[in-house]
Amino acid sequence: MVSKDWDVVIVAFGTNQGNGNVGFELDKDAGSEAAFIEDIAALQARGKKVVLSLGGQDGSVSLANDMERHNFVNSVHGLLRKYGFDGIDLDLESGISQGLPIIDNLIVGVKELRRRVGDSFYLSMAPEHPYVQGGYGAYGSIWGAYLPIIDGLRNELSIIHVQYYNNGGFVYTDGRMINEGTVDCLVGGSLMLMDGFRVNYGQGWKFNGLRPDQVAFGVPSGPQAAGRGFVTPTTVARALTCLAHGVGCDTIKPKNTYPTFRGVMTWSINWDRFDRFAFSQPVRHALDSLGHNDFVAPVYTATTTQEEAAAPETTPEPTQKPKRKPGCGDSTGCYYAPTSLSLVGWSAQDCGKMPFFLWCGP
């Protein structure tokens, strides 16, 4: 069951079938293919958008040359027509790095998809913040690697909702390290996308800002939905009122307010349902209250630390916890200590090629 509070339903994930081809395998517990198609149509009849996400933690897309780009466009377009998806969500968490051919080929391929589908084509992006805001502190490799994609598709982009979780923090434009799970993280990251910024600590290429109605932020729906970066609905509401009305801010305050700020993305609808809609209901209320002419500013107590929330009861952890490698924090993959970044899906060999990165896996 999908809560009525959601406006866009992102179906995860398309699969990489090689040579640029993208497939989609329906979960066996989701019912028949015909019923799934009917469910999509029913959501759309209620005014919802339903899009297919590409990538994810364990997924990828191959776009190394013209042939793969051609296959990508044809296969994705075929899936849109078959299932009735409104468009795609780009959640590429591996295989994206500065200078790789996938960047230009993805831009060209998505533009071709837009031409085939028409103006109704919905394009969203859900990059992790090292691929976006990470470009301020260091522009190279994965750091800021999504910025050319965002810039190249800004005219096609419906909405970008950066994932502000599972990666520690990022360097803000004033030089401070901003931690996930805070009002400052959600506000600061959003302002960087709307106001624009220069990479390499302000000394490099300038990413020009997006329209406010193209920008949202992504957070976990509950304590169990992600390893780190959880925020309470109160933190979300404060970030929203800060951006839209200049109220509820912490230490980062917008110079101008953005009443058309687009909204909130979360992982995931299923976790929200598991938590009895403890995320979607209050966040829906917070979003709806922003547009009221009689908006009354809530009273907030500013804090620069992550707000605490009572976690639901869970099965007690074993008394003997696995040992962590020194300097790895909670990471079990490739770890970058300055930002507490843990790169899931990287191999020990990939990690070893990056200076200052530490392999924390088995």
Among all residues, which ones are annotated catalytic?
A: 93
Q: Tokens standing for 234?
A: 């109160």
The SS3 assignment for 159 reads strand
Whole-angstrom distance, CA of residue 154 vs CA of residue 205: 17
Residue labelled with tokens 């295989």: 95
Report CA-CA distances (Å) from 78 to 54, 84, 340: 14, 10, 40
Whole-angstrom distance, CA of residue 179 vs CA of residue 183: 9
Strand partners, 280: none
Q: Rounded to the nearest 5°, which phi and psi values hold at 213?
A: -75, 0
- Sign of the dihedral through C-alpha 357, 173, 190, 152: negative
Q: Determine contact, residues 204/198, Cβ cutoff 8 Å.
A: yes
Whole-angstrom distance, CA of residue 340 vs CA of residue 334: 10
Q: Which own/partner pairs from 40-48 qualify as long-range (CB within 8 Å, at least 24 positions apart)?
A: 40/83, 40/84, 40/85, 41/84, 43/2, 43/9, 44/84, 44/86, 46/4, 47/7, 48/6, 48/7, 48/8, 48/9
3-state secondary structure 31-70: CCHHHHHHHHHHHHHCCCEEEEEEEECCCCCCCCCHHHHH
Nearest to 53 by CA among 3, 116, 127: 127
